[in-house]
A and B are shown apart, each in its own frame.
Chain A
Amino acid sequence: DSGVTQTPKHLITATGQRVTLRCSPRSGDLSVYWYQQSLDQGLQFLIQYYNGEERAKGNILERFSAQQFPDLHSELNLSSLELGDSALYFCASSEAGNANTGELFFGEGSRLTVL
């Protein structure tokens, strides 16, 4: 158990809908990362937050948005969903924004299926 909690574990929805994925980082971790992993693909970096502030952005679609709240949990909002958005969405956390050890702790992921 990494200590990172993601909900929901599974989500099935229709095209055009909007969903929110939630992540609670490890206790004490200030940094939260979101990644998208499509079937048999690598981990695509979406966005990173550190202590409530956006720190780095990847190829995140405009239909997607995220935020980190004062209690450090984070939410990833996906709107106007398309079939291609079906993927496993991982949240990861680390101690600091630029943690020296490079270690990210991953949650078990939220599997989104868009029908």
Chain B
Amino acid sequence: GQSLEQPSEVTAVEGAIVQINCTYQTSGFYGLSWYQQHDGGAPTFLSYNALDGLEETGRFSSFLSRSDSYGYLLLQELQMKDSASYFCAVKGTGGFKTIFGAGTRLFVKA
């Protein structure tokens, strides 16, 4: 089966850096994705890592270590609008099934 663990809540101040960790267990691994979801909205794609290392997209970066079954999302220069839920997701066997973690709620304070 597949399972993912991520912290339920993180709080940080505006302008700071925050890291949201994700560990996973999966039979077959194709990649780790990150999604952002604002209250009442649809999840939107942030990043995808299929290989080990760091991927950077603007203020957001994502890291993957396949040997440790671990990844993280790094958010820099936090803004109030970054307050949202962040989900890690794993593509498993055959690359067809994408399973999401329970989500990390990020609160950005002024």
**Are B102 and A42 within 8 A (Cβ)?**
yes
Bound form: Cα–Cα A14–B94 in Å: 39
**Are A104 and B45 within 8 A (Cβ)?**
yes
Instruction: Name A100's contact: one of B50, B89, B94, B103 (CB within 8 Å).
Output: B50
**Are A45 and B102 within 8 A (Cβ)?**
no
Question: Which chain A residues lie closer than 8 Å to B103 at the CB level?
Answer: 41-43
Bound form: Cα–Cα A42–B50 in Å: 22
**Are B44 and A45 within 8 A (Cβ)?**
no
Question: What size tier do the contact residues of chain B reach?
Answer: 20 to 34
**Are A105 and B96 within 8 A (Cβ)?**
no
Within 8 A of B (CB), among A29-74: 33, 35, 41-45, 48, 50, 55-56, 58
Instruction: Name A102's contact: one of B43, B50, B87 (CB within 8 Å).
Output: B50
**Are A42 and B101 within 8 A (Cβ)?**
yes
Question: What size tier do the contact residues of chain A reach?
Answer: 20 to 34
**Are A102 and B42 within 8 A (Cβ)?**
no
Q: Total contacts A to B, CB within 8 angstroms?
A: 72
B109 within 8 A of A: no
Question: Which chain A residues lie closer than 8 Å to B31 at the CB level?
Answer: 102
**Are A50 and B96 within 8 A (Cβ)?**
yes
Tell me the smallest distance from the CB of B5 to a CB of chain A, in Å: 11
Question: Which chain A residues lie closer than 8 Å to B25 at the CB level?
Answer: none
Question: Which chain B residues lie closer than 8 Å to A45 at the CB level?
Answer: 97-100
**Are A98 and B87 within 8 A (Cβ)?**
no
A-B contact pairs, 13 of them (CB 8 A): A41-B102, A42-B100, A42-B102, A43-B103, A48-B98, A56-B94, A92-B43, A102-B31, A102-B33, A102-B91, A104-B35, A107-B42, A108-B41
Interface residues of B (CB under 8 A from A): 30-33, 35, 41-45, 48, 50, 87, 89, 91, 94-103
